[in-house]
Chains A and B, each alone.
Chain A
Amino acid sequence: MRSLTVTQAMNEALQEEMRRDPTVYLVGLALYPSAGDSATGGLVEEFGEKRVRSAPMSETVIAGSAVGAALAGMRPVAELHLADFAFNALDEILSKAGKWRYVHGANHGMTLPIVFLQGIGGYVSAGAEHSQSPVALYWHFPGLKIVVPTTPYDAKGLLKTAVRDDNPVIFFTHKLLDDAGPVPEEEYLVPFGVAEIRRPGADVTVVATSYMVTLALQAADNLERRGVAVEVIDPRTLEPLDIDTIVGSVHKTGRLVVVDEDTQRCGVGAEIGAQVMERAFAALRAPVGRVANPNLPVPYSPPLEAAVLPSVARIEAAVLATLDSMR
């Protein structure tokens, strides 16, 4: 099978969906003439400047106009570059896209088919306002689907599903996840709400998304040599969340560690940990472990950044801690 990067896979997904459906269009900063190798690169040549819209420097305009266009029957893909920048459009994303249908009682079958593309992640010395991964923030609010792809295969299949969904979708891609991987030539979709077991194991369940999956798999490799079999689960979407697969794994292992690049407080680990306790408390043989940012801004200098963001070593330690705590 041929190999594509996440960026190339997303580019292909957008091209296919724009060919398939004339209501799909892109809006974002600098989509041309300089989009280059990005997920939106090269599309203006095929689809023109009306459907590949280079926006003024305003996330409010990018996100808010996407909501309005969706209300008028379009399927916008709003490229917000970094999640850090998307904070400028939180009213548009959280209170307009997320709540508009509900608040207006689904008036006349109102739908809001919007994809908000946001880049996340640190480990690149980009500083506090270019390194955030505020996935849990969006998960906290009602009405938004949340996609966190890891592989090029998933990035393409999930993006096509996101474009076809009649609801707002936040689609997070990590700065460091751009290695090539197999992507079939023929069309396919990846459904929301179906987790992928990246690596089976019987001793400890590790739930991780996005770049954290890469770190968790490295930790699992290292721990295997010490006789610990780690099962790594990639939920792929957080809303909807495939909690059944996670709970099923915990019933097998009795131990759970959740890895999240975001700040720990009120985070992905807190939510998944609480859900597992509600659903499978009797199966747990140790407290749920969390590996996350210890509630700090992401610092610039490499040793400082490494001290804050999750690492393979911290994941290994958290897994071993669940084995120390026997009951």
Chain B
Amino acid sequence: MEPLPEEQLELYTLMVRSRAFEERAGALVAAGEVPGSWLSGIGQEGTMGAICQLRPDDYVTYTHRGAYSFIGRGSDPGRLLAELLGKGTGYCRGKGGRHIADLEHGILGKSGTIGGHAPLAIGVATAIQIRDGDQVVVSLFGEGTSNRGTTHAAMNAAAVWRLPVVWVCENNGYMGNVPAPMYTAVADIAAMAPGYGMPGDVVDGNDVLAVHRAAAVAIARARAGDGPSLLELKTYRMRPFGETSTDLRDPQEAAAWLGKDPIERFRRRLVDAGVLTDAAAQAIGEAARAEMDAAATYALDSPLPAATDAFEDLYA
């Protein structure tokens, strides 16, 4: 079911805010304010079409990339940036950096190993199943992560146990600078789904309404207790692997994908449909940038943790 016009505007605003966050995070890295780095999801905001449909009591496990899970779930950008800056006011008190949990919003944390979150996702879904709940877990991963045994083991278990998981593969075509055909022999990761006994669907990941439609089906299936699904979103990252990495991909390819920018596409569509005016789009962008500037100020003004904090939090 197509989202209502006001829901589409909300979705558009979330995407714009996510990008504004990522641009602000990238600027902080460039300014030398971030002790680590940030792995940008700019260009992949079409994933918001899945995230925006979740209930407050649902769960997300996210990859190493992008802010849309957090922005889409309602996390506080100030605390996110504070964490990135290693500040004591960050979500993880400066211990996680870009490995962030926001349990209040059902974001369970970040695995340092690619694909390490997949087995955790089925555990959350197990908890839901034991409690006879109707929540769902959306588990994001990249096409490179489909190489890992953890991914395969978790998908098999999710299907066997009929767990309420929606696997969302964000296929951006590259593992760092290495093109996908060098590490995956099939063109579509979704082609793996029947091998586990679950439905798979290939979606234009830069068409947020297409993502929304496909995710609605998968989420409903999971909520009804009918088991997992695999969605593959074909997309492209518009930034290097990390904000401090060198991009060796073909500049012509990057330029071609720029024309498919998911936010710009959605904006044109909303304007054409009369849902959004150019002036309103401008205002949404400015408000998002102002919000992220304020978040950055909060993060920059926050104190660093005390050295003694290193000795806390290991055991409950």
B interface residues, tally (CB under 8 Å): 46
Which residue of chain A is the closest to B103 with respect to CB atoms? A108
Cα of A104 to Cα of B122 in the assembled complex, Å = 20
Residues of B within 8 A of A96 (CB): 111, 116, 120
> Does B154 interact with chain A (Cβ within 8 Å)?
yes
> Does A252 interact with chain B (Cβ within 8 Å)?
no
Is B157's CB under 8 angstroms from A56's CB? Answer: yes
Q: Given A103-B95, A106-B316 in contact, is the A69-B113 Cβ separation under 8 Å?
A: no
Interface centre among B111, B121, B316 (most CB of A within 10 A): B316
> Does A155 interact with chain B (Cβ within 8 Å)?
no
Binds A, one of B13-21, B85-93, B238-246, B271-279: B85-93
- A74 to chain B minimum Cβ distance, whole angstroms, is 5
> Does A107 interact with chain B (Cβ within 8 Å)?
yes
A interface residues, tally (CB under 8 Å): 45
Residues of A within 8 A of B (CB): 25, 27, 50-51, 53, 55-56, 58, 60-61, 63-74, 76, 91-92, 95-96, 100-113, 142-143, 166-167
> Does B296 interact with chain A (Cβ within 8 Å)?
no
- B147 to chain A minimum Cβ distance, whole angstroms, is 14
List residues 74-129 of chain B with CB under 8 A from any CB of chain A: 90-96, 99-104, 108-109, 111-113, 116, 118-129
Is B116's CB under 8 angstroms from A102's CB? Answer: no
Cα of A161 to Cα of B116 in the assembled complex, Å = 29
Is B123's CB under 8 angstroms from A95's CB? Answer: no
- A191 to chain B minimum Cβ distance, whole angstroms, is 15
| Residue from the list A51, A55, A103 in contact with B109, Cβ < 8 A | A103
Is B128's CB under 8 angstroms from A72's CB? Answer: yes
> Does B280 interact with chain A (Cβ within 8 Å)?
no
Is B100's CB under 8 angstroms from A102's CB? Answer: no
Residues of A within 8 A of B123 (CB): 64-72, 76
Is A143's CB under 8 angstroms from B314's CB? Answer: yes
Which residue of chain B is the closest to A58 with respect to CB atoms? B153
- B151 to chain A minimum Cβ distance, whole angstroms, is 10
Interface centre among B100, B122, B128 (most CB of A within 10 A): B122
Is A104's CB under 8 angstroms from B156's CB? Answer: no
| Residue from the list A64, A73, A92, A103 in contact with B99, Cβ < 8 A | A103
Is A105's CB under 8 angstroms from B120's CB? Answer: no
Residues of A within 8 A of B108 (CB): 68, 71-72
